[in-house]
Amino acid sequence: MDLKIKVGMASCGLAAGANDIYNAIKDYQKDSDIDISLEKTGCIGMCFAEPLIEIIADDKSATYGYLKEDKLKDIIENFAKGEPQKGNMILSNFADAEENETLASQTRIVLRNVGQINPISIDDYIERDGYKALEKAIKELSPSKVIAEIKESGLRGRGGAGFPTGLKWQFAATQFSNKKYIVCNADEGDPGAFMDRSVLEGDPHSIIEGMAIGAYAIGADEGYIYCRAEYPMAIKHLKIAIKQAEENNKLGNNILGTKFNFKLHIKEGAGAFVCGEETALMASIEGERGMPRIRPPFPAQSGLWGKPTNINNVETFANIAWIILNGAKEYNKYGTEKSRGTKVFALAGKIRNSGLIEVPMGIPLRDVIYKVGGGIKNNRPFKGVQLGGPSGGCLPESMLDTLVDYESINKTGAIMGSGGMVVMDDTTCMVDVARFFLNFTQNESCGKCTFCRVGTKRMLEILTRITEGKGVLEDIERLENLAENVAKGSLCGLGQTAPNPVLTTLKYFKEEYLSHIEDKKCVAGVCTNLLTYEINPDLCVGCTLCAKKCPVSCISGAVKQPHEIDQDQCIKCGACYAACKFGAITKS
């Protein structure tokens, strides 16, 4: 039996040891009687089970995860015999596998090729109808008809704000200028987000094709992909894909024998979160410091070097070719009336199936977390989910029936954002979560606006004080007043949305703030200054292990006798708690 074996070689796979798996299969391939075609691919989204391989024979396929090199031989040979072993099998199109339902619950448009093709092979992309949409657009449709199709699809910008993409394109198209630009915002910087990285690493040609179609629609002949330098594999794959597209007349002059010209460049960002804002991003491309500008004029009127410019993010562009090829009506079969299509999310935090997913708009949050995400790790109680990154908000269990669409999410006080979804269990302190995200935005503030620069600093000081047990009830009112002023007085989206994590945790988890302030207790046991470690004399056997592990020698007691912690000397590090094998040390 001839086998095709694909190894997931995205950043997540490589971090988990995929390179060793690939080399081990390559070595096995040399001496095996089985005819094996070995290929590299991107991430299919199941990062929790990396490293992964997919084995294909005729119309049968199975994906195996949690792999070690010593298991490969048996897995390959058993599959070749028609007796695939189920130990490491997580997906299969012909047998029961534990994650079949996880994938079946998804609808893949943006991720249609990720994990299916070799990302640096234009031939693989073309085999899956790649560049057919570009050919259809520039040979069969006028620019206005392309825009009309995108408008009819209802596609909204997936970068966070959800502005209608077709309308945005129309604004740029109607501007009269001898030069226009189109830009892909790939400056993904939200903690816990990796949607753009996975698409760029796994299917770079879909971004190029989407940008080329957009350029044709608005009348641009030059474009930039603004990608953060911390994504070296994404940049490498983009460079290869751009070169391949140029060599195959999908980019450059007289594309596909027409009069359409389009050149594409990569601009590597230095990792400033504020450069995800459109005007700051353009300033960075121009070689200036990445700081936001006052709008209007909007980029469609005066963008890069004063010329009309259209900016969309990675996920938005990844939808374009599918819509043009399959039609707006087909796209409208997914989602809700005001939020069409699908949405890609990066599931992270205390969730079983961490990784990348794509679900139809309108799915309840509960289904995303429990049906697609597999629920909470170690069966612990769900506490909250952070949507929209540092600009978003934290929602409690009572909000899990909220539908995943722009209007429904916005009503909660959170935002859809670009797609980060961080799940939290009962061991998470929500005050500390608010402090973490505000610390991030405060560090990333460009400093241009006083409210953002100083206001977030004052809010962070109050949150830090509360987590240290020094808060007072008046701090809650101070936080709310500061949040209102920071949101109103900041120039760009970073400052305007920075208070969201604080406001939503105050709204839905106020009891935790009160516990920190009034009772000087952190119910999750996270804020170290509020913790007390005590030894239960009835359970302590006097093994002395806790005393040996204590870095400040504050535990005393004779061998085989109950020990005691000097509370004045204890630094609350938790070393004793972790070391005790008898459950004698309690944390409260």
User: What local confidence, expressed as pLDDT, does residue 87 receive?
Assistant: 84
User: What local confidence, expressed as pLDDT, does residue 334 receive?
Assistant: 96
Q: Which helix (H) or strand (E) holds 441?
A: helix 430-444
Phi-psi region of 574 (alpha: psi -120 to 50; beta: other; left: phi over 0): left
Residue 186 has pLDDT above 80, yes or no: yes
Judge contact between 343 and 156, C-beta under 8 A: no
pLDDT digits (tens, 9 = 90+) for 412-425: 999 888 888 999 99
Beta-carbon count within 10 A of 330 CB = 13
Beta-carbon count within 10 A of 468 CB = 14
Which amino acid, one-letter code, is at 504?
A: T
User: What local confidence, expressed as pLDDT, does residue 516 receive?
Assistant: 97
Mean pLDDT calculated for residue range 152-172: 94
Mean pLDDT calculated for residue range 194-217: 97
* pTM (predicted TM-score): 0.93
Q: Output the CA angle 9-207-162, nearest 5 degrees.
A: 115
Residue 588 has pLDDT above 90, yes or no: no
pLDDT digits (tens, 9 = 90+) for 346-382: 999 999 999 999 999 999 999 999 999 999 999 999 9
List beta partners, residue 312: 184
Beta-carbon count within 10 A of 571 CB = 12
Which amino acid, one-letter code, is at 384?
A: G
Residue 260 has pLDDT above 90, yes or no: yes
User: What local confidence, expressed as pLDDT, does residue 44 receive?
Assistant: 87
pLDDT digits (tens, 9 = 90+) for 540-586: 999 999 999 999 999 999 999 999 999 999 998 889 999 999 999 98
pLDDT digits (tens, 9 = 90+) for 85-102: 888 999 999 888 888 888
User: What local confidence, expressed as pLDDT, does residue 145 receive?
Assistant: 98
User: What local confidence, expressed as pLDDT, does residue 146 receive?
Assistant: 98
Residue 191 has pLDDT above 90, yes or no: no
Q: What pLDDT band is residue 9 in, cutting at 50, 70 and 90?
A: very high
pLDDT digits (tens, 9 = 90+) for 261-305: 999 999 999 989 999 999 999 999 999 999 999 989 999 999 999
DSSP 451: I
Go through the domains of the chain in sequence order and give each one's CATH number: 3-99 (3.40.30.10), 122-331 (3.40.50.11540), 342-425 (3.10.20.600), 430-519 (1.20.1440.230), 531-587 (3.30.70.20)
Mean pLDDT calculated for residue range 464-486: 96
pLDDT digits (tens, 9 = 90+) for 478-489: 999 999 999 999
Dihedral over Cα of 208, 209, 210, 211: its sign: positive
Phi then psi for 171, rounded to 5 degrees?
A: -60, -45
Mean pLDDT calculated for residue range 178-188: 96
Q: What pLDDT band is residue 160 in, cutting at 50, 70 and 90?
A: confident
**CA distances (Å), origin 108, targets 22, 297, 338, 544:** 26, 36, 20, 56
